Amino acid sequence: MRLEQAIRTVNARGEKAFIPYVMGGDGGIDRLPDILAFLERSGATAIEVGVPFSDPVADGPVIQEAGLRALADNISLKDVLEAIRIARQSTGVPIVVMTYLNPIFRFGIDTFLSTCREVGVDGLIIPDLPLEQSDQFFAGRNKQDIALVQLVSLTSPMERIEKLAAHSEGFLYAVTVNGTTGGQTNFGDSLEQHLAKVAQLSPVPVMAGFGISTPEHVRQLSTSVAGVIVGSKIVELLQQGDEATIEQLMAARLPDVTV
């Protein structure tokens, strides 16, 4: 799959993958294509685009607030997908849509999948879709090469992690905190060891995410895995118009770079 290949290509160059998250429609849906183009120029391996939803169970305060700002402008899943279609005229990196089941059901599952293919979506993250229901959810439907990314938590038993890894497509999302997204001051001493174990079990690249907000976090947590996903900090910096700090964060994925 294109998403997995993009990560492996970056790793083969001796670099770590970096996937920034943005909330579709935050600050206006018309901004999204320009934001995606900026993130690609800055070195994003792939980009995760969130869809505003009224009950985002995996999102912390920063991303919740971004979603509420987008919802106040009546931004829908359809709007986000249309903006991705426009962005594809100038943006080539893989795009992963992060959404919840309810917007997909309202859109229509088959229509959603066909639209994702048409606009150039490479992967999906659906936090409230359990592994056991995913086969039923996509049964008989043409998902083609759209990767369905699975998430593993710090409390997942190793047998469960192994099962999720075996079914994950594109990459395996290793959640680095117990709780929702948002910046952390520091991570537990055993986290790097945990990530190394997950990476050993996974046939697809492992990306660490949740709470990563500094260049030091990027370097620390990407040591044992393919790379990192940064969400809340990217959303916060985009709202502030601080592109330079975003570039510094992303530069930390490179070997021997001090920022």
Active site amino acids: 48, 59
| Residue (of 30, 42, 46) closest to 207 by Cα position | 46
**H helix intervals, 42-100:** 61-72, 77-87
For 10-37, letters b (16+ CB in 10 Å) and e give bbeeebbbbbbbbbbbbbebebbbebbb
Q: From residue 153, give the alpha-carbon distance in Å to each of 9, 21, 63, 175.
A: 26, 19, 19, 5
| Residue (of 162, 144, 141) closest to 152 by Cα position | 162
> Quick one: how far is CA 113 from the chain centroid?
18
